[in-house]
Amino acid sequence: MPSNRIKGIKRALRRGATNARSRIAETAPEPLRRFAAPMVRYTDMLLIDHLFVRVLFPNRHRLSSRAWRAAQPLPYQLKTVKALGVRTVINLRGNGSKPTARAERAACERLGLTYVDYCIRSRDAPSKAELRGLRDLFARIEHPLLLHCKSGADRAGLASALYLHLVDNVPVEEAKRQLSLRFGHIRHADTGVLDAFFDRYLAHAANDPIDLFTWIDHHYDPVELKRSFRSRGWANRLVNGILGRE
């Protein structure tokens, strides 16, 4: 199916869900609102946010004894997350005002989990502020933790690689394997700029063996990295159109 048709279907579903919420809020009796509102919210998450895929494929993987990575969990799946010992859930999507995030935050509160919004991007070279912010976040939050984005492939991969390197002292060359097709990451698309970030550091460190954040502070140029990175058209059509990644 052509990507523009897929986008049209998504827009129609989004309008339908928005209209349904409005009709329920404005015209339905109170008992019906209490009954129907959760159903509309779940429809929004399952269809518009593609979370029907996560019912069967949560893309959840253990990083270490104190960390997990995953795709966007549905509220009921957070019970399983808590049973794994997780204490903090980090949402990397930057969608805090959207229905999915509101439902996730509420579920975390009910379960006694700490919920953290931390926005990073999947198609831009990570900024120095984003990288430093993740470093500081890992140092101050309660472990064990769960890192997630929408699909658990790109932003979760970047954050997971940084976590393994900074917290568990895993070498960058090994940690960057968290950006892998195994997790759904496609490096030939625009999301491959995240791979290029680590590759650029490793190339520098081969001749000047400095630590990652010394390189970030004194040598890393995200604007130049973004400008020089080249993606493939077919990969972007797959990632952006068919898979509907953020």
What pLDDT is recorded for position 49?
Answer: 59
Q: Compare 33 and 95 and report the one with higher pLDDT.
A: 95
Domain boundaries, the chain: 10-48, 57-242
| CA–CA dist 236, 63 (Å, integer) | 28
- Does the pLDDT value for residue 73 go beyond 90? yes
| Cα separation values, 76 from 55, 83, 104, 175, Å | 10, 12, 9, 30
The two most distant CA atoms of the chain are separated, in Å, by 70
Look up the CATH number of domain 57-242: 3.90.190.10
Across the chain, what does the average pLDDT equal?
85
- Does the pLDDT value for residue 133 go beyond 60? yes
Q: Taking the model in full, what pTM does it have?
A: 0.81
| CA–CA dist 230, 187 (Å, integer) | 10
Please give the average per-residue pLDDT across 236-241, as a whole number: 85
| CA–CA dist 74, 103 (Å, integer) | 8
What pLDDT is recorded for position 15?
Answer: 60
| Weakest-pLDDT range from 4-18, 54-68, 150-164 | 4-18
Tens of pLDDT, residue by residue over 21-65, are 555 445 555 554 454 455 555 555 555 555 556 667 789 999 999
Q: Percent of the chain at pLDDT above 70?
A: 78
What pLDDT is recorded for position 4?
Answer: 53
Q: Of 7-21, 23-37, 152-166, where does the model show the most confidence? A: 152-166
Please give the average per-residue pLDDT across 97-120, as a whole number: 93
Q: Residue 222's CB: how many other CB atoms inside 10 A?
A: 19
| Weakest-pLDDT range from 14-18, 202-206, 229-233 | 14-18
State both tokens at 131.
């990288």
- Does the pLDDT value for residue 155 go beyond 70? yes
| CA–CA dist 62, 1 (Å, integer) | 34
